C-alpha cells in the first residue's frame, strides 16, 4: 500500500515528495525495498521530506536531520554532523527507563 501511495503521488510530477512514516508497520524486508526505491527517486533529483521514526531509514536517505521535541526543532544539522556526534542521539533519541 505504501508503494502504491508513493506511485500515485509520483504520477502528478511533484516538485517535493512528502512522506509521513512510510515504513510504519512494514516488515524489515519491505522496509529495505522501500529504502532502495526512495534512494532511486532521490537520485533522480526529486526532493523528499521524510518524517520517520526509524533511524536506520533516516540515516540511509537524509541529507539533513531535524529532531522535533514537543513540536519545536530541538536539533538540526547535516547527515554527517548527525552521524559524527553520538551525543545528539543520546540527548534526543535515547529511550529512558
18 has a pLDDT exceeding 70: yes
> What is the Cα–Cα distance from 12 to 4, expressed in whole angstroms?
13
pLDDT, one tens digit per residue, over 27-78 is: 999 999 999 999 999 999 999 999 998 989 999 999 999 999 899 999 999 9
Residues 29 and 49 in one domain: yes
Domain extent, residue 57, equals 1-62
3-state secondary structure of 44: coil
**What's the pLDDT at 63?**
96
Under the banding of pLDDT at 50, 70 and 90, the label for residue 93 is confident
Residues 47 and 89 in one domain: no
Residues 58 and 68 in one domain: no
Under the banding of pLDDT at 50, 70 and 90, the label for residue 97 is very low
Mean pLDDT confidence for 81-91? 88
Residues 49 and 95 in one domain: no
**Cell matching residue 38:** 526512495
Amino acid at each position: 500500500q505504501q508503494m502504491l501511495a508513493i506511485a500515485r503521488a509520483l504520477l502528478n510530477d511533484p516538485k517535493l515528495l512528502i512522506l509521513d512514516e512510510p515504513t510504519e508497520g512494514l516488515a524489515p524486508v519491505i522496509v529495505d525495498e522501500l529504502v532502495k526505491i526512495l534512494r532511486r527517486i532521490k537520485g533522480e533529483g526529486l526532493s523528499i521530506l521524510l518524517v520517520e521514526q526509524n533511524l536506520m531509514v533516516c540515516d540511509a536517505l537524509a541529507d539533513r536531520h531535524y529532531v522535533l521535541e514537543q513540536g519545536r526543532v530541538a536539533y538540526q544539522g547535516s547527515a554527517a554532523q548527525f552521524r559524527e556526534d553520538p551525543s545528539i542521539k543520546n540527548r534526543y533519541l535515547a529511550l529512558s527507563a
